[in-house]
């Protein structure tokens, strides 16, 4: 079982994702440079956080043209589990693998802090080990995490159960006060129609060891391991 962590120029949470997968989870992990055209046989792909291409033009806007993104798109089209974290989520939206866009936080300031998110869906490769409604404590660190989509898209996301994570308070209530950036419907993360591509603004890879403040993020990695075990079994059956 192998994880690929894509490295764009300006990625800066690539080492964090690699560390979480390799040293905490204990799985195989490889960095894949953005100029590569192959994912080197990866079973899971992570688009890490950071400031790809300095986030010049728009966050995530230039990374979509990196050579590796063709391979990432076909990996997703083939149903492979693909996780975009923070800047990785922004890249997924720019690439149209996920709908909507991330705008500047409503107070126009960067926010770094632990927030609570509620797991809304447990039928994605990255949440199947979570309980429905489980509240996770995860860090955010972004200036542009304010999720926006038009009304029709939002309605479609909600109707099809594609809002995967929603900001909430400690008790799991999605209130305006618990929404750190002004995201519509308190959306912290979504998935595609096929449910194999998940993007979220919070950083699960920073929350995999309790000395760092939370280990709640591990459930995303545990989930995808379980998912692969199941699906690997299906394919070989």
Partner 1 sequence: MSIIDHAVLERHGLKPEEYERIVQSLGREPSLTELGIFSVMWSEHCSYKSSRVHLRTLPTEGRRVLQGPGENAGAVDIGDGLAAVFKIESHNHPSFIEPYQGAATGVGGIIRDIFTMGARPVALMNSLRFGPLDGPHGARTRRILEGVVAGIAGYGNSIGIPTVGGEVMFEEPYTGNPLVNVFCLGTARADALVKGRADGVGNPVYYVGAKTGRDGIHGATMASAEFDDRSAEKRPAVQVGDPFMEKLLLEACLELMKGDALIGVQDMGAAGLTCATSEMGARSGSGIEIDVMHVPQRETGMTPYEIMLSESQERMLLVVKKGREREVEGIFEKWDLHAAHVGYVTDDGLLRVKDHGSVVAEIPNRALVDEAPVYTRPTREPAYLAEVRPFDRAALPAVDPRDALLHLLASPTIASKRWIYRQYDYMVRTNTLVLAGMGAGVVRVKGTQRALAMSVDGNGRYCYLDPRRGAMLAVAEAARNVACAGGEPIGATNCLNFGNPERPEIMWQFAEAVAGIGEACRALHVPITGGNVSLYNETDGRAIFPTPVIGVVGLIEDASCVPTRAFKGEGDAIILLGETFDELGGTEYLKTIHGRIAGVPPALDLRRERALIALLVRAARAGLLRSAHDCSDGGLAVTVAECAFDTGGVGAEIDVPALAADPASALFSESASRAVVSVDESQAATLLQMAAEAGVPAAAIGRTGGTRLHMAVGGAAAVDLPVREAEQVWGTALERRPGKNEIRA
The catalytic residues are 86, 203, 205
Binders of partner 1 in range 185-224 (CB under 8 A): 203, 205-206, 208-209, 211-213
Give the pair of three-digit tokens for residue 3.
Answer: 């994880």
Closest approach of Cβ 110 to partner 1, in Å? 5
2 is a site residue for partner 1 (CB under 8 A): no
Cβ pair 141, 112 in contact under 8 A: yes
Cβ pair 231, 223 in contact under 8 A: no
Q: Specify the stretch interacting with partner 1 by CB under 8 A; choose among 16-24, 72-80, 144-152, 188-196.
A: 16-24
Closest approach of Cβ 196 to partner 1, in Å? 26
Q: How far is CA 17 from CA 4, 94, 151, 172, in A?
A: 10, 21, 33, 26
In this chain, which of 4, 5, 13, 115 binds partner 1, going by CB under 8 A? 13
DSSP state letters, 68-90: HHHHHHHHHHTT--EEEETHHHH
16 is a site residue for partner 1 (CB under 8 A): yes
Q: How many residues bind partner 1 (CB under 8 A)?
A: 33
In this chain, which of 53, 126, 147, 165 binds partner 1, going by CB under 8 A? 53
Count other Cβ atoms within 10 Å, centred on residue 113.
8
Give the pair of three-digit tokens for residue 136.
Answer: 């996770």
In this chain, which of 78, 113, 177, 234 binds partner 1, going by CB under 8 A? 113
Strands 82-85 and 135-142, how do they pair?
Answer: unpaired
Which residue ranges make up the site for partner 1 (CB under 8 A)?
Answer: 9-10, 12-13, 15-16, 19-20, 23, 49-51, 53-56, 108-113, 139, 141, 143, 203, 205-206, 208-209, 211-213
């Amino acid at each position: 079982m192998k994880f690929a962590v894509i490295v764009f120029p300006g990625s800066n949470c690539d080492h964090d994702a690699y560390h979480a997968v390799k040293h905490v989870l204990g799985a195989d992990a490889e960095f894949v440079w953005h100029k590569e055209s192959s994912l080197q046989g990866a079973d899971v792909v992570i688009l890490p956080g950071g400031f790809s291409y300095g986030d010049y033009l728009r966050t995530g806007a230039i990374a979509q043209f990196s050579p590796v993104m063709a391979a990432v798109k076909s990996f997703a089209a083939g149903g492979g589990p693909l996780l975009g974290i923070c800047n990785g989520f922004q890249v997924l939206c720019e690439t149209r693998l996920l709908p909507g866009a991330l705008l500047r936080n409503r107070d126009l300031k960067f926010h770094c802090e632990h927030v609570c998110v509620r797991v809304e869906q447990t039928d994605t490769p990255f949440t199947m080990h979570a309980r429905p409604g489980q509240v996770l404590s995860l860090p955010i660190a972004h200036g542009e995490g304010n999720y926006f989509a038009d009304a029709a898209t939002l309605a479609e996301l909600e109707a099809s159960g594609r809002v995967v994570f929603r900001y909430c308070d400690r008790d799991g209530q999605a209130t305006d006060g618990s929404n750190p950036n002004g995201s519509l419907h308190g959306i912290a993360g979504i998935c595609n129609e096929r449910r194999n591509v998940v993007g979220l603004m919070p950083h699960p890879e920073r929350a995999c060891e309790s000395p760092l403040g939370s280990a709640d993020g591990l459930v995303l990695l545990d989930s995808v391991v379980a998912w692969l075990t199941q699906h690997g079994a299906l394919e070989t059956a």
